[in-house]
């Protein structure tokens, strides 16, 4: 899930987004978050086919948007890692802790806490080690109390941890850093295929996030073609080929919903999104976004809270089992998301900029 808000007043002048792009990013973030909600509700009600079957793709949107916005907002400041890490932790953890508290309350209310609680899940989710064992091997720990959407936060936090170092290499040699990151990501996926483990898989997925970052760099340099993102595009294509070869050689490929098909699906979707949306199609869609500026900005401002809170409140809670109960929990979701994503972010002390 994207954990960065677009800011036009506090970033360096050369990193400022146009109002049209800001509206487009807000709209994309809001649509992706609420689509994930619709996807999980559809799954819970047995209507997961059709237009609501692409929840995984929505998470890939988050990764790409996160790379885009973080690079544009932090490309000068992240070279001083202390402030960057504090800003990211301040953004991530308040809503995460609220979501974990909500999961605990729901489990107590459902009478399921004693049988569902695991210290490993609690600590693993706090230290960003969680992922979904049903979809891939090598997972360290499941998300706390089964709040499945939290899986993506372990990837996000790992991407943030690596970014200042990748950025420093990029400032020394843009192409050299791009080739090194691409090669390491492909090598990480090979390592994962040989010995499945969380860190190798995260290392492979970093190239997706970096693709979003390189899209931001191309945009800020005035480019409007995905070809300007070389070598990120080339290495992402190579990662797709690596995942495809791995799937074929494994003899275990049965579906794009599980490993080894799922990572291939993710990498292909990321490549396709960069090619489609960083070009004429993206430009056409950006013409629509400004019309939705006000509503998109508000929904985007609570999208992270909606993402981390909707699963326990709408899917796991027994009180969401009736129409009235579900609507009541949906209202609670919006209120708690405003609290976690808007009020807390304003109430907490600011992290240092320098």
Q: What is the pLDDT of residues 204-262, one digit of tens each?
A: 999 999 999 999 999 999 887 888 888 999 999 999 999 999 999 998 898 999 999 99
Tokens, residue 292: 């939705």
Q: Report the number of distinct structural domains present in the chain.
A: 1
Residue 342 CA to residue 44 CA, distance in Å, equals: 28
Q: Decide if pLDDT at 130 tops 80.
A: yes
Residue 352 located in a structural domain: no
The arithmetic mean of pLDDT across residues 28-56, rounded, is 91
Q: Quick one: what percent of the chain has pLDDT higher than 90? A: 75
Residue 283 located in a structural domain: yes
The arithmetic mean of pLDDT across residues 77-91, rounded, is 94
Per-residue model confidence as pLDDT tens digits over 321-349: 999 999 999 999 999 999 999 998 888 88
Full domain range(s) for residue 208 = 13-347
pLDDT at 7: 45
The arithmetic mean of pLDDT across residues 277-287, rounded, is 72
Torsion sign (Cα): 234, 274, 297, 152 = negative
What counts of helices (H) and strands (E) characterise the chain? Answer: 15, 0
Q: Decide if pLDDT at 18 tops 90.
A: no
Better pLDDT: 275 or 145: 145
Q: Decide if pLDDT at 290 tops 90.
A: no
Residue 124 CA to residue 214 CA, distance in Å, equals: 31
Per-residue model confidence as pLDDT tens digits over 179-208: 999 999 999 999 999 999 999 999 999 999
Residue 5 located in a structural domain: no
Residue 353 located in a structural domain: no
Residue 103 located in a structural domain: yes
pLDDT at 50: 82
Residue 336 CA to residue 55 CA, distance in Å, equals: 22
Residue 20 located in a structural domain: yes
What's the mean pLDDT when you consider all of the chain?
91
Q: Which of 34-48, 107-121, 271-285 has the highest mean pLDDT?
A: 107-121
pLDDT at 279: 73
Residue 132 CA to residue 120 CA, distance in Å, equals: 14
Residue 128 CA to residue 136 CA, distance in Å, equals: 17
Q: Decide if pLDDT at 46 tops 70.
A: yes
Residue 196 is classified by DSSP as -
Q: Decide if pLDDT at 11 tops 50.
A: no
pLDDT at 9: 35
Torsion sign (Cα): 165, 11, 32, 332 = positive
List, as one string, the DSSP characters of 203-228.
HHHHHHHHHHHHHHHHHHTT--SGGG
pLDDT at 8: 39
Q: What is the CA radius of gyration of the chain?
A: 20
Residue 354 located in a structural domain: no
Q: Decide if pLDDT at 3 tops 80.
A: no
Q: What is the pTM of this model?
A: 0.92
pLDDT at 321: 94
List, as one string, the DSSP characters of 221-264.
TT--SGGGGTTHHHHHHHHHHHHHHHHHHHS----TTSTTHHHH
pLDDT at 352: 67
Residue 179 located in a structural domain: yes
Cα–Cα distance list, 166 to 47, 176, 210, 271, 352 (Å): 42, 11, 9, 20, 21
pLDDT at 200: 98
Least confident range from 30-44, 186-200, 269-283: namely 269-283
Asked if residues 221 and 75 have their Cβ atoms less than 8 Å apart, the reply is no
Residue among 321, 189, 349 nearest 259 (CA): 189
């Amino acid at each position: 899930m994207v954990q960065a808000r677009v800011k036009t007043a506090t970033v360096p002048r050369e990193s400022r987004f146009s109002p049209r792009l800001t509206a487009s990013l807000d709209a994309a973030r809001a649509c992706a978050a609420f689509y994930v909600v619709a996807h999980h509700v559809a799954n819970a009600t047995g209507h997961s086919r059709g237009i609501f079957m692409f929840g995984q793709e929505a998470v890939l949107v988050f990764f790409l948007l996160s790379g885009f916005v973080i690079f544009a907002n932090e490309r000068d400041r992240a070279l001083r890692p202390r402030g960057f890490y504090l800003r990211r932790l301040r953004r991530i953890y308040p809503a995460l802790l609220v979501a974990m508290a909500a999961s605990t309350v729901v489990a107590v209310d459902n009478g399921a806490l004693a049988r569902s609680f695991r210290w490993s899940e609690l600590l693993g989710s706090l230290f960003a080690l969680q992922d979904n064992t049903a979809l891939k091997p090598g997972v360290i720990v499941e998300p706390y109390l089964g709040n499945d959407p939290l899986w993506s936060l372990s990837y996000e936090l790992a991407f943030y941890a690596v970014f200042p170092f990748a950025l420093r290499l990029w400032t020394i040699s843009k192409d050299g850093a791009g080739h090194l990151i691409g090669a390491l990501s492909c090598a990480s996926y090979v390592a994962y295929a040989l010995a499945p483990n969380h860190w190798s898989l995260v290392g492979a997925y970093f190239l997706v996030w970096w693709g979003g970052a390189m899209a931001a760099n191309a945009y800020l340099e005035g480019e409007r073609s995905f070809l300007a993102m070389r070598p990120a595009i080339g290495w992402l294509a190579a990662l797709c080929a690596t995942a495809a070869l791995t799937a074929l050689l494994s003899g275990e490929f049965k579906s794009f919903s599980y490993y080894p098909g799922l990572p291939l699906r993710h990498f292909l979707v990321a490549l396709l999104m960069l090619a489609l949306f960083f070009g004429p199609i993206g430009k056409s869609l950006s013409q629509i976004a400004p019309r939705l500026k006000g509503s998109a900005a508000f929904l985007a401002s609570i999208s992270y809270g909606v993402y981390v809170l909707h699963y326990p409140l709408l899917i796991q809670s027994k009180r969401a089992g009736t129409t009235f109960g579900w609507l009541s929990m949906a209202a609670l979701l919006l209120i708690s998301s405003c609290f976690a994503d808007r009020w807390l972010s304003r109430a907490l002390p600011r992290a240092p900029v320098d």
